């Protein structure tokens, strides 16, 4: 199974494709970063079209999208919700089944605590994926997307085994070579 993780954002939307054929491994990752000087509607279009291009190129079986969490600034929450909406639309248009994961669920699964910082999540993602070559400088948004994909993948595997699986209990062998 190939899961596309998506970390929504209107300025930067991270994505990462994780393969669960054998030990989890990072296949591809990136950040959709439209120019902030363009009108907001055009940025949303660029994010939508960018994710569609990723789906067409990478052929994921499923997607794991981070769910919007409540924030202090209502305007920021609305903007994030709009960006998330166009990302969901792109996945639906491409026929990719979407699964939602909460930020706390992602952090707890990947690091063991629901209060982890972004850098801690990135370090654990790289550790779980065997520090894949070419991804040692994985952008935070792409690492968050990989963490969403890993969380859904572990949750799916747990459902098959009827036992909870977390990053701490998963057996992951480092990948050798590129």
Catalytic site positions: 7, 66, 141
| Ordered per-residue pLDDT tens for the chain, 178 residues | 999 999 999 999 999 999 999 999 999 999 999 999 999 999 999 999 999 999 999 999 999 999 977 666 888 888 999 999 999 999 999 999 999 999 999 999 999 877 888 889 999 999 898 766 666 678 999 999 999 999 999 988 766 544 444 444 444 433 333 3
- For the chain, domains (ranges, CATH) are 2-161 (3.30.420.10)
Q: What pTM was computed for the model? A: 0.85
Residues 143/14, Cβ–Cβ less than 8 Å: yes
Residues 123/107, Cβ–Cβ less than 8 Å: no
């Amino acid at each position: 199974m190939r899961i596309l993780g998506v970390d929504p954002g209107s300025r930067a939307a991270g994505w990462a494709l994780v393969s669960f054929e054998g030990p989890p491994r990072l296949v591809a990752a990136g950040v959709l970063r439209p120019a902030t000087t363009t009108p907001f509607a055009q940025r949303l279009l660029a994010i939508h079209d960018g994710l569609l291009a990723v789906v067409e190129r990478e052929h994921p079986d499923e997607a794991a999208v981070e769910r919007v969490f409540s924030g202090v600034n209502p305007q920021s929450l609305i903007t994030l919700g709009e960006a998330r909406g166009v990302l969901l639309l792109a996945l639906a248009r491409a026929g990719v089944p979407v699964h939602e994961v909460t930020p706390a669920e992602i952090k707890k699964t990947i690091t063991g605590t629901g209060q982890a910082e972004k850098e801690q999540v990135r370090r654990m993602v790289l550790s779980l994926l065997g520090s894949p070559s070419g991804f040692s400088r994985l952008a935070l948004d792409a690492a968050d997307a990989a963490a969403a994909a890993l969380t859904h993948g572990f949750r799916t595997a747990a459902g098959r085994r009827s036992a909870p699986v977390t990053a701490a209990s998963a057996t992951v062998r480092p990948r050798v070579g590129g």
